[in-house]
Amino acid sequence: MPETCSLPGNRAPDTRPVQATTAQSGAAVSGAENAYSALLARARAERRLLAVHWELTQRCNERCTHCYLPVRPPHPIPSGELTTAECLDVLAQLAGLGALYLTYSGGEALVRQDFFTLAEAARALRFALRIFSNGLAITPASADRIAA
């Protein structure tokens, strides 16, 4: 069987853009573009660290032939991967540095058993949080948690 990346049941991802309207011009922009512009303006005005991209893990739930990551299912935890406590400490340090925007990725960030603990901690520290995911681990219940 060839190694591949695909959505189960041949589901197509939802690619509908989120729409927002700018107050000044009334022009439609994507919600992400509008939010990012606001964070960029805030970072410049306050001379703060804008963004951090954090690979939470090298583990993944796929076997994509083009991928650069060495860890494949069944998801052994690589030596050196940070513990939950260490991740929470890093989050506190990033907040102390004034970072505004945080991206969790991997591998597949959602394969970490503590993913929602780390996501909730990031939101409690008032980070604008983005998740890079292949979406395979997202269930209706986890989608509700992510959206909250």
Could you read off the pLDDT of 99-147 as tens digits, one per residue?
988 999 988 999 999 999 999 999 999 999 999 999 999 999 999 998 8
Which candidate, 136, 107, 108, places its Cα nearest to that of 6? Answer: 136
Q: Token match 């690589």: residue?
A: 78
28, 29, 43, 104, 109 from 50: Cα distances, Å? 24, 21, 6, 15, 21
Specify the pLDDT at position 118: 98
Q: Are residues 86 and 103 in the same domain?
A: yes
CATH of the domain at 100: 3.20.20.70
Q: Are residues 61 and 81 in the same domain?
A: yes
Where in the sequence is the domain holding 40, given as residue range(s)? 15-47
Across the range 48-53, mean pLDDT stands at: 89
Q: Are residues 41 and 82 in the same domain?
A: no
* Domain-embedded: residue 75: yes
Q: Are residues 133 and 67 in the same domain?
A: yes
Specify the pLDDT at position 74: 61
Q: Are residues 89 and 135 in the same domain?
A: yes
Q: How many folded domains does the chain comprise?
A: 2
pTM, entire model: 0.71
* Band (5; pLDDT cuts 50, 70, 90): very low
